């Protein structure tokens, strides 16, 4: 099979991923990002519906309505929530999803109050001045040993409360998006906004090429994946298969790189459908996608939540290789393009 050029669509993926990364959307605070997703798919000519939970389901067309394929990605991210307003006016947080204080330290944050606007601050170790804190190096970074230092003139708890900040307010961490000349994409929360961008790229390809998939094809952009129930329910009628399009892991013991599409054979939830793994490998070979097959020991996906909610589906997991997962993540435009190439070969071929 001749390898088709997808550079135009990869450019589109990177552009849209960058836009979405710059919209704050930690789990539980996804309304703006979901609206953006809905508007972007509709601008490409596709019908969407918004679930009661807040996710977006997109109908990408297709002929066989009894053998549908559902592609799942998520736009919710890691983040924080105000747990306590301390006596000094600073904020102790609790995590949303797997946000880790070890790699969140010194990051700029936005505190989204329920009724009184947004305030900026920085997530710091308690007593963060090295010239003052003689135990700086020894301190274990935990949610209790770190705090948000607000960029407001607050000296006590009452000062912070007067701003309208209260327990339960959302705290968004700065993504710090950067795309290098060499094609690397660096940002917090590539998991899983890069995959949302890839599914938009697939939708644009279908629209531009006027392709009608052989079987009904849907996308579900979920909003509670990071806490384990994003893909629960909301499966369109007639779907017999679901594939989570999430990040591929890059690290010791794995073969995937940031420039490849990863096909997951097994994660912490158990093996993926062997039939689907084989079919994905075949589609990768046939389409010319650079791929790797790996096992992720500390990973769970949307599609497993879909199965746990009682749906009778075959399931799989793919994604662009991402290094430093749940930290300051890095992928590459080639990885995004290889995911798109595989999806075109698998879902449209």
Positions annotated as catalytic residues are 225
Burial class (CB in 10 A: 0-12, 13-18, 19+), 135: exposed
- What are the Cα distances from residue 8, in Å, to 41, 53, 307, 340? 17, 34, 35, 12
Nearest of 251, 249, 283 to residue 266 by alpha carbon: 249
* HEC-encoded secondary structure of 117-173: CEEEEEEEECCCCCCCCCCCCCCCCCCCCEEEEECCCCCCHHHHHHCCCCCCCEEEE
Pairing of strands 178-179, 291-295: unpaired
Beta strands in 158-313 (DSSP E): 170-173, 178-179, 184-187, 215-222, 239-245, 248-250, 261-267, 270-271, 291-295
Q: What is the DSSP letter of 77?
A: B
Contact call for residues 190 and 329 (beta carbons, < 8 A): yes
- Provide the CB-side half-sphere exposure for 323 (13 A, CA): 16
Nearest of 197, 244, 175, 195 to residue 26 by alpha carbon: 175
Question: What does the alpha-carbon distance between residue 176 and residue 216 come to, in Å, rounded to a whole number?
Answer: 37
Residue 128 phi, psi dihedral angles, 5° rounding: -80, -5
* Residue with tokens 């006016």, as numbered in its chain: 89
Pairing of strands 108-112, 170-173: antiparallel
Contact call for residues 216 and 63 (beta carbons, < 8 A): yes
Omega of the bond leading into 226 within 30 degrees of 0 (cis): no
């Amino acid at each position: 099979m001749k390898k088709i050029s997808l550079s135009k669509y990869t450019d589109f993926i990177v552009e849209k991923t960058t836009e979405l990364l710059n919209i704050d959307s930690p789990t539980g605070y996804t309304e703006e990002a979901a609206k953006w997703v809905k508007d972007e798919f509709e601008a490409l000519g596709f019908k969407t519906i918004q679930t009661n939970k807040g996710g977006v389901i997109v109908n990408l067309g297709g002929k066989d309505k009894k053998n549908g394929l559902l592609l799942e990605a998520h736009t919710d991210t890691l983040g924080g929530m105000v747990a306590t307003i301390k006596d000094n006016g600073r904020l102790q947080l609790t995590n949303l999803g797997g946000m880790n204080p070890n790699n969140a330290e010194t990051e700029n944050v936005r505190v989204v109050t329920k009724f009184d606007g947004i305030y900026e601050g920085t997530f710091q170790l308690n007593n963060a001045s090295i010239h003052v804190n003689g135990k700086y190096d020894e301190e274990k970074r935990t949610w209790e040993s770190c705090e948000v230092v607000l960029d407001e003139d607050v000296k006590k708890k009452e000062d912070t409360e007067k701003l309208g900040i209260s327990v339960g307010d959302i705290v968004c961490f700065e993504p710090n998006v950067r795309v290098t000349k060499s094609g690397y994409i660096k940002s917090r929360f590539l998991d899983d906004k890069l995959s949302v961008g890839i599914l938009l790229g697939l939708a644009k390809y279908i629209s531009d090429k006027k392709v009608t998939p052989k079987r009904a094809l849907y996308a579900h952009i979920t909003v509670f994946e990071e806490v384990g129930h994003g893909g629960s329910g909301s499966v369109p009628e007639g779907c017999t298969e679901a594939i989570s399009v999430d990040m591929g892991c890059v690290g010791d013991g794995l073969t995937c790189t940031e420039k490849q599409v990863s096909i997951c054979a097994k994660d912490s939830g158990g093996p993926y459908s062997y039939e689907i793994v084989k079919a994905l490998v075949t589609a990768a070979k046939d389409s010319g996608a650079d791929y790797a097959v790996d096992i992720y020991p500390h990973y769970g996906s949307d599609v497993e939540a879909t199965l746990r909610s009682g749906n009778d589906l075959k399931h799989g997991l793919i994604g662009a290789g991402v290094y430093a997962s749940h930290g300051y993540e890095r992928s590459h435009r080639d990885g995004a393009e290889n995911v798109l190439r595989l999806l075109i070969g698998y879902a449209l071929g």
